[in-house]
């Protein structure tokens, strides 16, 4: 494991900030200054400013993100963050992003390899969104979304999607890409604006049983479904574990 990834797993800092610590000469591996390309072995001793570090255990958390919370570890504007909601002994960070006003399923982990895999479009992790629009779209509009659309300020076309009308102006959209503000931009491309947006599931995970702001650790079987995506793993988990924390 590269040194910056090891430091991130240890809860010291993000990979980017860990690179800065390494460049400043504050990190040693077996007593020697660490380098950006240093690979840490299980038996190596890593220290920061002379103090030995212990690698954290891997942790996987599902959060029901509420509205008004930003998907970052810290916010210069002082807004509440998803990391601040998850009172976990391990330093976990979000996989992907949801807009501040978007609610729903958000995975947080310190498993960098899995996070990278899930974020890569070739693994086609299904993300299911429920969008309430300001106006009712026609069936033709929904067919366009299903076939893929060209996003504003983007020359490429989105991949095919699954689209289902829940009620008049409420639409369920299943995608496996993760472009910036993709769902809202898809609707904008066909002349509609999103009033409310909720991600009901992420891969095999859903937020059934979790109140907004509550989180739970994943069961080992759920982690395995995320590691080895198969057609069966795209079926949503219907009986999530018990919530570990609820907002006051």
From 19, 44, 75, 99, the catalytic residue: 99
- Residue 53 and residue 69: Cα distance in Å, rounded? 31
For β-strands 215-217 and 60-65, DSSP reports them as antiparallel
Q: For residue 87, indicate whether it is catalytic.
A: no
Q: Which residues are catalytic?
A: 99
């Amino acid at each position: 494991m590269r040194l910056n990834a090891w430091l991130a797993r240890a809860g010291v800092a993000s990979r980017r900030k860990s690179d800065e610590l390494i460049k400043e000469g504050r990190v040693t591996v077996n007593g020697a200054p660490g380098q950006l390309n240093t690979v840490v072995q299980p038996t190596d001793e890593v220290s920061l400013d002379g103090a030995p570090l212990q690698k954290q255990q891997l942790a996987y958390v599902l959060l029901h993100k509420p509205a008004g919370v930003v998907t970052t570890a810290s916010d210069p504007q002082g807004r509440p963050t998803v990391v601040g909601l998850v009172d976990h002994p391990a330093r976990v960070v979000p996989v992907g992003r949801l807009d501040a006003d978007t609610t729903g399923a958000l995975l947080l982990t310190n498993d960098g390899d899995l996070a990278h895999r899930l974020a890569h479009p070739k693994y086609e992790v299904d993300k299911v969104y429920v969008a309430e629009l300001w106006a009712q779209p026609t069936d033709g509009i929904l067919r366009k979304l299903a076939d893929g659309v060209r996003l504003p300020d983007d020359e490429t076309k989105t991949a095919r999607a699954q689209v289902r009308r829940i009620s008049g102006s409420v639409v369920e959209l299943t995608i496996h890409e993760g472009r910036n503000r993709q769902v809202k931009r898809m609707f904008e491309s066909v002349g509609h604006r999103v009033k409310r947006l909720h991600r009901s599931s992420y891969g095999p995970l859903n937020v059934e049983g979790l109140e907004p702001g509550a989180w739970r650790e994943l069961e080992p079987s759920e982690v395995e479904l995320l590691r080895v995506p198969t057609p069966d793993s795209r079926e949503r988990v219907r009986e999530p574990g018990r919530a570990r924390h609820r907002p006051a």
